[in-house]
Amino acid sequence: MSPLATLRRMHTIAGAPLLIASFLARLPVSMSLIGTLTLVTTQVGSVAAGGVVSGALALGEAVGGPVISRFADRHGQRPVVLLTSLVDAALLVVLVAAVFAGAPVWLLAALAALAGLSMPQIGPLARSRWIALAKRRGQDRDRSIAAALSVEGVLDETGFVIGPAVVGLLAVLADPAVSVLGAAVLIGVFGSVFAVHPTALPGTPVAPGEDGLVRPGLLVLILPMFCQGLFFGGAATGVTAYTQSMGHADLSGLMYAVMGVSSATAGLLMASVPAWVALTTRLRVAATGLGLLSLPLFLAPGPVALAAAMFLMGCAIGPHIVTIFALAERAAPPARLGQAMTLIVSSLILGQALGSVVAGHAAERFGFHGAFLLATAAAFIAALVATGIVRSRWYTAAERQEQPARV
């Protein structure tokens, strides 16, 4: 299935409006993080203060995300997403006002944490919604689920690429505050559109024995996704340090965008992988490829070579993310799918936040190679987890449980 055919299949399942709304509603995740960092740093005059406030926002989302998704799974997506979208938009506006009012850093961090806690989990809930719609397609369900997970992985990563670019553009053309206020508008408007869309899933009572997320097949996926976050943090910091050292600091965003293009294309192509190729096999190949394809970063002699290395590296990122979510769909209890997806996303956010901090210190001490080393190490750790810990028997589809699992 080509990328265009994958998108056509998604349009057939529920239509373009849902895709557009879910994409625009998830942009605020990256926009608010980078925008808050830039705004606080500019107004307070301290990078440390900006890091504390943006870190509080990320931590709040990582903690609150699974709770919000649990409520959405139990009580329905519409009321939960609508309420959190409006509350989060209001809190982001209050945060901007507090920055300009000269509020102390501890108060800014507290407001940011509250905004993170109330951030609606559009990406994970969109995945559970698309999966539910795809499962209604009978014999076509497997390919439809594959298409849904491929497109959702692309939308998530595209958001993490476009979001920072939009923040940077608005900061240059207007003011860093505009990016945070823009994130508030997007989440308030398109989060509400996503909430009231007719495809919103109703609440599902949890059956006895289905309530727990303590399943090895699900919990083990936190590790490779956390490593993927570390990889993002290390790669982004390394690229920034590299372009600065070459005297082309303005090219860092473009380099990251090049990676996003190849990653998005490869992620969409995952819907074309034959069903007989086990998901665990795909995970092992993608994670190993991520590590191997990051090695050219250390050898790039200039911006053009770096762009080529970033493009190659992106070819493994999309498949890795898409496969992790496909495995999570197999391992999670149906009544807790939204919360399970959010748990995986939270590990990505935490990994990226920690990776940015560690890579920043490494880049200051060892140059851009130190940041790239973190990214490469994280990728190979993910490969070790996929090869040595992950087992196929944890991800056997319900209707195929009579077949022997492959390891």
- State the average pLDDT over residues 266-273: 81
- For 174, which DSSP code? S
Contact 385, 219 (CB under 8 A): no
Q: How many domains does the chain have?
A: 2
Cα 267 to Cα 254: distance, rounded to the nearest angstrom: 20
- For 404, which DSSP code? P
Confidence (pLDDT) at 17: 81
Same domain, 264 and 336: yes
Q: Is the pLDDT assigned to residue 6 strictly greater than 70?
A: no
Q: pLDDT of 186-229, one tens digit each? A: 999 999 999 998 888 887 766 555 556 778 888 999 999 999 98
Same domain, 276 and 321: yes
Cα 319 to Cα 338: distance, rounded to the nearest angstrom: 21
Query: Which carries the bigger pLDDT value, residue 387 or residue 143?
Result: 387
Same domain, 254 and 382: yes
> Using 50, 70 and 90 to split pLDDT, how confident is the model at 401?
very low
Same domain, 173 and 28: yes
Confidence (pLDDT) at 402: 37
Same domain, 387 and 302: yes
Q: pLDDT of 78-119, one tens digit each? A: 999 999 999 999 999 999 999 999 999 999 999 999 999 999
Same domain, 190 and 227: no
Same domain, 182 and 292: no
Same domain, 259 and 345: yes
- Two tokens at 405? 């699992």
Same domain, 254 and 179: no
Same domain, 197 and 224: no
Last residue of a domain, one of 205, 230, 249: 205
Cα 394 to Cα 381: distance, rounded to the nearest angstrom: 20
Last residue of a domain, one of 205, 238, 267: 205
CATH number at residue 121: 1.20.1250.20
Q: Is the pLDDT assigned to residue 400 strictly greater than 60?
A: no
Contact 208, 68 (CB under 8 A): no
Contact 114, 187 (CB under 8 A): no
> Using 50, 70 and 90 to split pLDDT, how confident is the model at 140?
low
Same domain, 254 and 315: yes
**Crossing angle of helices 122-134/176-196, nearest 10°?**
30
Burial of 263 (0-12, 13-18, 19+ CB in 10 A): buried
Same domain, 86 and 115: yes
Quote the pTM value.
0.76
Which string of DSSP letters, residue by residue, matches 56-84?
HHHHHHHHHHHHHHHHHHHH-HHHHHHHH
For 332, the domain range is 212-398+403-407
Q: pLDDT of 30-88, one tens digit each? A: 788 778 877 887 788 776 677 788 778 888 888 888 889 888 888 888 999 999 999 99
Last residue of a domain, one of 182, 205, 228: 205
